């Protein structure tokens, strides 16, 4: 018997297979856990014998186009081997209860989705009866596509070839039944009514990058309380929803697991992606996001397909969709985005710097009295690299009820308030209480002995604040491009050069991901007119940067960033 998972892990870590950082980390994790499993303290063991039957079944599945069996690539066997080979020493049940599997489009995800679902329906060990498997997606149409074009199509091909399988299964419009065990596979979306009776064994979240909230994830996970080896599988390419739960919640978490910063022995993760956007220019590195390029029988055709897609995107000057779908790089939905999401991520620090006694530039963006107001802080770090640290705090209006606002904005303000990132108005009317803003600014300055260089403000609806903060230097910043273009471009430059550090403030990151720019001749500014998303924290930050950008004037080539277009 060949231990495919360990073979793949060794070939990746030895450099025989070109792989991105996260794939190398996943393979190192597997090899390290093999050593850990020798200790009585580690509760899991690796039994590759458990994967043989699963791999054989998957390789029997006919291609829905040709009808011929499809051999699994070695990387696919690594994934299957990891999910089915790692077991609890005491119970023998599967170790992993959650999996995050991401790669570029046409990367071999379909055989895994259909194969795992069908294997569990036909041969699942526990529970013996009532194995509920759900192919889920963000919409009913998308969930139906997964069910119809992947799982149902595969089973119909098997039923054509096997009277035995045809005898024990029933295929209906919206579900597949295994009659002897009363088990089923069914499409499920957030539009589906009555989730209360679910008892999910396997929940597959396909193309999770399109999800705007965690509702479906919560439905699946909350239904698995009685399952001994329930499994949630996220299987998706990258996408454009930088504020969606896949990119903002799951992707950072699996990054921490793979890097060792966080430990979760029940979460399997593997991400096939380009380590840097510049690598797209090197064909030899495309295998990082497209692991099927390592399969000799299809690599020539696949390379030709990718070359055609990339050239067409470059010719049309619309490369972002190709980078996302064909190279698994997360990008904003618009080429007019203020900041590239990956550039912003690279500026993140795990621990914020000590701000006590620091100089600070304070920006204020007053919204409508019933919406969101932001105060952003830019602290020059006065180090050799001439870097800044940025943070923000928001004030939330609740005119039509906090729960309605949370649902409408898809932001859990209640949780963020508990974590200290925002303040919810205490007014019964639900309007913003400017006294809360004043108290927050004053307390933050006094508690940290801050040296306020200036308070910079959009003149809209701010007079009360100015009267109460008159001890500080105050600078009005008009919101026209003539005033905002230079600080906006310089802010982009500092992010691009990793000199604008942040500590993953969620509301600030949401604002950065939402912010679009408008171009007026050679000038730019954040587009407040068209953007209906929450951008107040970054708007306040750009206002503060009107003065903060001059802090290192003697050491920065102002002409460089003033004239260069850094819109990403």
Nearest to 526 by CA among 567, 470, 564, 554: 567
> Is the model's pLDDT at 532 over the cut of 70?
no
Share of the chain above pLDDT 70, in %: 93
Q: Return the number of other C-beta atoms located less than 10 Å from residue 187's C-beta.
A: 24
Q: Are residues 361 and 217 in the same domain?
A: no
Q: Are residues 552 and 404 in the same domain?
A: yes
Question: Is residue 311 domain-resident?
Answer: no
Q: Return the number of other C-beta atoms located less than 10 Å from residue 312's C-beta.
A: 12
> Is the model's pLDDT at 531 over the cut of 50?
no
Q: Return the number of other C-beta atoms located less than 10 Å from residue 554's C-beta.
A: 7
Residue 176 token pair:
């597949």
Q: Are residues 142 and 249 in the same domain?
A: yes
Task: Check if the beta carbon of residue 328 is closer than 8 Å to that of residue 289.
Answer: yes
Per-residue pLDDT tens digits for 452-472: 999 999 887 677 788 889 889
Q: Return the number of other C-beta atoms located less than 10 Å from residue 403's C-beta.
A: 11
Beta bridge partners of 135: 187, 204
3-state SS string for 240-264? CCCCCHHHHHHHHHHHHHHHCCCCC
Question: Is residue 291 domain-resident?
Answer: no
3-state SS string for 48-111? CHHHHHHHHHHHHCECCCCCCECCCCHHHHHHHHHHHHEEECCCCCECCCEEEEECCCCCCHHH
> Is the model's pLDDT at 157 over the cut of 60?
yes
Task: Among 229, 255, 271, give the residue marking a domain's end.
Answer: 271
Question: Is residue 520 domain-resident?
Answer: yes
Residue 4 token pair:
């495919």
Q: Are residues 253 and 353 in the same domain?
A: no
Q: Quote the pLDDT of residue 198.
A: 86
Task: Check if the beta carbon of residue 127 is closer than 8 Å to that of residue 94.
Answer: no
Task: Among 249, 271, 293, give the residue marking a domain's end.
Answer: 271
Instruction: Find the Cα–Cα–Cα–Cα dihedral 474, 480, 486, 487, rounded to 10°.
Output: 50
Question: Is residue 186 domain-resident?
Answer: yes
Q: Quote the pLDDT of residue 562.
A: 46
> Is the model's pLDDT at 340 over the cut of 90?
no
Question: Is residue 90 domain-resident?
Answer: yes
Tell me the three state secondary structure of residue 357: coil
Task: Check if the beta carbon of residue 386 is closer than 8 Å to that of residue 556.
Answer: yes
Instruction: Find the Cα–Cα–Cα–Cα dihedral 330, 392, 532, 548, rounded to 10°.
Output: -90
Task: Check if the beta carbon of residue 201 is closer than 8 Å to that of residue 132.
Answer: yes
> Could you give the CA distance from residue 537 to residue 334 in angstroms, rounded to a whole number?
20
Query: How far from each other are the two terminal CA atoms of the chain, in whole angstroms?
Result: 51
Q: Are residues 154 and 261 in the same domain?
A: yes
> Could you give the CA distance from residue 341 to residue 405 in angstroms, rounded to a whole number?
25
What is the 3-state composition of the chain as percent helix, strand, coil, each rounded to the nearest 5? 45, 20, 40
Task: Check if the beta carbon of residue 270 is closer than 8 Å to that of residue 29.
Answer: no
Q: Are residues 203 and 348 in the same domain?
A: no
Pairing between β-strand 175-178 and β-strand 169-171 as defined by DSSP bridges: antiparallel
> Is the model's pLDDT at 560 over the cut of 50?
no
Q: Quote the pLDDT of residue 490.
A: 95
3-state SS string for 98-146? EEEEECCCCCCHHHHHHHHHHHHHHHCCCCCCCCEEEEEECCHHHHHHH
Task: Among 250, 271, 292, give the residue marking a domain's end.
Answer: 271
- Which residues have C-beta within 8 Å of that of residue 512, sequence separation ≥ 6? 338, 339, 341, 344, 538
Question: Is residue 327 domain-resident?
Answer: no
Residue 235 token pair:
């299987």
In eight-state DSSP terms, residue 288 is: G
Q: Are residues 24 and 118 in the same domain?
A: yes
Give the domain extent around 77.
Answer: 4-271
Q: Quote the pLDDT of residue 334.
A: 65
CATH classification of the domain holding 414: 3.30.420.240
Q: Are residues 267 and 359 in the same domain?
A: no
Beta bridge partners of 94: 87
Q: Given phi > 0 = left and psi -120 to 50 = alpha, else beta, which region is 521?
A: left
Beta bridge partners of 189: 137
CATH classification of the domain holding 89: 3.40.50.300
> What is the torsional sign of CA 184, 117, 102, 501?
positive
Task: Check if the beta carbon of residue 207 is closer than 8 Å to that of residue 236.
Answer: yes
Q: Are residues 256 and 392 in the same domain?
A: no
Task: Check if the beta carbon of residue 78 is closer than 8 Å to that of residue 5.
Answer: yes
| Strands, E assignment, 426-499 | 451-457, 474-476
More confident position, 568 or 397: 397
> Could you give the CA distance from residue 2 to residue 4 in angstroms, rounded to a whole number?
6
Per-residue pLDDT tens digits for 68-123: 888 899 999 999 999 999 999 999 999 999 999 999 998 888 778 888 999 999 99
Q: Are residues 347 and 266 in the same domain?
A: no
Question: Is residue 282 domain-resident?
Answer: no
Which phi and psi (to 5°) does residue 548 adopt? -60, -30
> Is the model's pLDDT at 149 over the cut of 80?
no
Q: Quote the pLDDT of residue 255.
A: 95
Which phi and psi (to 5°) does residue 179 adopt? -65, -40
Q: Kind and range of the H or E element at 218?
A: helix 215-222
**Which single residue is written with the structure tokens 């009776």?**
197
Q: Quote the pLDDT of residue 139.
A: 67
pTM of the predicted model over 0.85 = no
Question: Is residue 501 domain-resident?
Answer: yes
> Could you give the CA distance from residue 479 to residue 276 in angstroms, rounded to a whole number?
35
Q: Are residues 47 and 159 in the same domain?
A: yes
CA angle 470, 471, 476 (to 5 degrees): 50
> Could you give the CA distance from residue 285 to residue 30 in angstroms, rounded to a whole number?
23
Task: Check if the beta carbon of residue 511 is closer than 8 Å to that of residue 243.
Answer: no
The mean pLDDT of the chain is 89
**Which single residue is written with the structure tokens 């380009």?**
274
- Which residues have C-beta within 8 Å of that of residue 302, sequence separation ≥ 6? 106, 290, 292, 293
Per-residue pLDDT tens digits for 471-530: 899 999 988 888 999 999 999 999 999 999 999 999 999 999 889 888 888 888 888 765
Q: Are residues 265 and 348 in the same domain?
A: no
In eight-state DSSP terms, residue 516 is: B
**Which single residue is written with the structure tokens 């959009």?**
458
> Could you give the CA distance from residue 160 to residue 174 in angstroms, rounded to a whole number?
19
Count of domains observed in the chain: 2
Pairing between β-strand 474-476 and β-strand 451-457 as defined by DSSP bridges: parallel
């Amino acid at each position: 018997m060949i231990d495919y998972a360990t073979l793949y892990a060794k070939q990746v870590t030895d450099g025989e297979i070109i792989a991105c950082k996260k794939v190398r980390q996943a393979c190192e994790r597997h090899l390290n856990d093999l050593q850990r499993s020798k200790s009585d303290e580690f509760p899991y063991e690796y039994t590759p014998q458990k994967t043989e039957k699963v791999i054989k079944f998957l390789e029997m599945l006919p291609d829905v186009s040709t009808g011929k069996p499809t051999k699994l690539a070695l990387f696919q066997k690594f994934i299957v081997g990891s999910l089915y080979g790692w077991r609890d020493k005491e119970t023998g049940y599967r170790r992993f209860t959650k999996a995050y599997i991401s790669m570029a489009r046409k990367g071999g995800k379909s055989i895994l989705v259909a194969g795992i679902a069908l294997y569990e329906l036909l041969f699942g060990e526990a529970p013996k009866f009532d194995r509920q498997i759900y192919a889920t997606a963000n919409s009913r149409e998308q969930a139906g596509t997964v069910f119809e074009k992947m799982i149902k199509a595969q089973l119909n091909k098997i039923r054509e070839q096997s009277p035995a399988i045809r005898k024990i299964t029933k295929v209906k419009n919206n579900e597949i039944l295994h009659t002897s065990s009363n088990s089923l596979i069914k499409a499920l979306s957030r539009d589906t009514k009555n989730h209360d009776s679910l008892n999910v064994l396997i929940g597959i979240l396909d193309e999770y990058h399109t999800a705007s909230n965690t509702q479906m994830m919560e439905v699946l996970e909350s239904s698995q309380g009685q399952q001994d080896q329930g499994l949630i599988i996220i299987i998706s390419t990258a996408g454009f929803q930088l504020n969606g739960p896949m990119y903002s919640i799951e992707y950072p978490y699996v990054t921490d697991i793979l890097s060792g910063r966080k430990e979760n022995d029940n979460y399997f993760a593997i991400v096939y992606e380009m380590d840097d956007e510049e690598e797209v220019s090197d064909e030899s590195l495309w295998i990082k996001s497209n692991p099927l390029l390592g399969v000799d029988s299809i690599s020539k055709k696949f390379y030709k397909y990718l070359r055609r897609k990339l050239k067409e995107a470059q010719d049309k000057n619309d490369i972002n969709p190709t980078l996302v779908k064909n190279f698994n790089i997360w990008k904003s939905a618009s080429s007019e985005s203020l900041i590239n999401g990956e550039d912003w991520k690279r500026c993140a620090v795990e621990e914020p710097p000590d701000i006590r006694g620091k100089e600070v530039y304070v920006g204020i963006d007053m919204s409508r009295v019933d919406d969101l107001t932001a105060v952003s802080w830019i602290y020059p770090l006065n180090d050799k690299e001439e870097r800044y640290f940025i943070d923000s705090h928001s004030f939330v209006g609740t005119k039509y009820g906090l729960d309605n606002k949370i649902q409408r904005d898809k932001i859990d303000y209640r949780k963020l308030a508990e974590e200290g990132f925002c303040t919810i108005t205490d007014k019964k009317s639900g309007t913003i209480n400017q006294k809360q803003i004043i108290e927050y600014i004053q307390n933050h300055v006094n508690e940290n002995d801050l040296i306020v260089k200036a308070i910079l403000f959009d003149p809209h609806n701010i007079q009360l604040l100015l009267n109460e903060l008159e001890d500080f230097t105050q600078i009005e910043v008009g919101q026209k491009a003539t005033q905002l273009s230079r600080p906006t471009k310089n802010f982009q430059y500092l992010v691009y050069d990793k000199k604008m550090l942040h500590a993953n403030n969620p509301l600030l990151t949401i604002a950065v991901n939402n912010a679009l720019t408008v171009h007026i001749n050679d000038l730019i500014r954040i587009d407040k007119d068209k953007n209906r998303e929450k951008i107040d924290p970054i708007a306040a930050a750009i206002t503060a940067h009107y003065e903060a950008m001059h802090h290192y004037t003697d050491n920065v080539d102002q002409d460089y960033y003033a004239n260069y277009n850094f819109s990403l």
